């Protein structure tokens, strides 16, 4: 299965994070072309070095980008228990459609999640003290070893190829090995099923579409008043 490394994904995330509407912010993607033409390559070199030192950084920065794009438009982030309709509604608030949501959910191809995030699916599905019957039995048994009911404090990879950004996330969903309710919910709609199959059959197309979806998300307009920050907790006055 074709894939790209966490390093390459992280570079993509950093690149799209600076994509901003020229009309709204009077900024330009070519702002540094004259004063610092090597800016992009310098950023790439530094990111390479940091990701080499900490392989988990790619997932962390991608998560940060998601949070920034959603929070800055006064819209709550998707919840792990959301169904398909709720997910579509949340993404629609920021100008993203159902297809964008399904593609961006593929960001769960890298990273880890706390056992508590899927505890109910393992031990108390819908309050019935059972395992979610839609979950692959062997997969559920493995999860219970890693996340015992008495001490569910561990972490699990979000997909089977943790550390490699690819379309295995969708294959996991199609084989009933998704972790989060919100992930599994993608297959409750024909559009989600159709895209999952396509992503598995053509992983390179998924990588390309994910990149464009990230760019679209990165261009979500910010709330006003907006401003720059010298300190992370405070926005400087708008001039």
Give residue limits of the domains in the chain.
6-111+158-218
Give the pair of three-digit tokens for residue 29: 């993607």
Q: State pLDDT tens for residues 78-101.
A: 889 999 999 999 999 888 999 999
- SS3 assignment, position 171: helix
Does 78 carry a binding-site annotation? Answer: yes
Instruction: Name the phi and psi angles at 119, rounded to 5.
Output: -60, -45
What is the rounded CA–CA span in Å between residue 119 and residue 102?
23
What is the rounded CA–CA span in Å between residue 184 and residue 82?
10
What is the rounded CA–CA span in Å between residue 57 and residue 73?
25
Q: State pLDDT tens for residues 216-239.
A: 888 777 666 556 666 665 666 654
Q: Are 158 and 110 in contact (CB under 8 A)?
A: yes
Q: State pLDDT tens for residues 159-204.
A: 888 778 899 999 999 999 999 999 999 999 999 999 999 999 999 9
Question: Cα 72 vs. chain centroid, distance in angstroms?
Answer: 16
User: Topology of domain 6-111+158-218, per CATH?
Assistant: Peroxidase; domain 2 (1.10.420)
What is residue 51's predicted lDDT score, i.e. its pLDDT? 79
Does 108 carry a binding-site annotation? Answer: yes
Confidence category of residue 68, pLDDT binned at 50, 70, 90: low
Q: Are 85 and 191 in contact (CB under 8 A)?
A: no
Does 159 carry a binding-site annotation? Answer: yes
* Helix axis angle, 39-53 to 57-71, nearest 10°: 120
Burial status of residue 148 (CB atoms within 10 A of its CB: 0-12, 13-18, 19 or more): middle
For the chain, give the number of residues. Answer: 239
Closest by Cα among 239, 235, 209 to 222 = 235
Looking at 115-163, list the stretches that DSSP marks H as alpha helix, in order from N- to C-terminal side: 119-123, 137-146
Give the pair of three-digit tokens for residue 211: 């990149």
pTM, entire model:
0.78
Q: State pLDDT tens for residues 27-46.
A: 567 778 888 888 888 888 88
Burial status of residue 30 (CB atoms within 10 A of its CB: 0-12, 13-18, 19 or more): exposed
Instruction: Name the phi and psi angles at 114, rounded to 5.
Output: -70, 145
Other CB atoms within a 10 A radius of the CB of residue 175 amount to: 12
Residue 155: its H or E element: strand 155-157
- SS3 assignment, position 35: coil
Does 6 carry a binding-site annotation? Answer: no
Residue with tokens 């998601």: 66
> Dihedral of CA 189/107/165/17: which sign?
positive
């Amino acid at each position: 299965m074709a894939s790209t490394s966490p390093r390459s994904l992280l570079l993509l995330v950093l690149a799209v994070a600076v994509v901003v509407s020229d009309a709204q912010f009077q900024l330009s993607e070519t702002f540094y072309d004259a004063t610092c033409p090597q800016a992009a390559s310098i950023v790439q070199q530094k990111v390479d070095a940091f990701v080499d030192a900490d392989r988990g950084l790619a997932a962390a920065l991608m998560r940060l980008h998601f949070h920034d794009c959603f929070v800055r438009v006064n819209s709550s982030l998707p919840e792990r228990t959301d169904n398909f309709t709720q997910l579509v509604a949340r993404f629609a608030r920021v100008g993203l459609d159902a297809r964008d949501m399904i593609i961006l959910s593929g960001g769960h191809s890298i990273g880890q999640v706390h056992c508590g995030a899927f505890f109910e699916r393992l031990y108390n599905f819908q309050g019935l003290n059972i395992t979610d019957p839609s979950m692959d039995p062997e997969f559920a048994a493995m999860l219970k070893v890693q996340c015992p009911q008495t001490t569910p404090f561990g972490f699990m990879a979000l997909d089977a190829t943790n550390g490699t950004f690819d379309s295995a996330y969708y294959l996991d969903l199609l084989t009933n090995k998704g972790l989060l309710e919100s992930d599994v919910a993608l297959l409750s709609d024909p559009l989600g099923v159709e895209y999952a199959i396509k992503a598995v059959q053509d992983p390179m197309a998924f990588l390309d579409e994910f990149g464009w979806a990230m760019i679209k998300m990165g261009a979500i307009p910010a709330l006003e008043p907006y401003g720059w920050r010298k300190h992370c907790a405070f926005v400087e006055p708008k001039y």
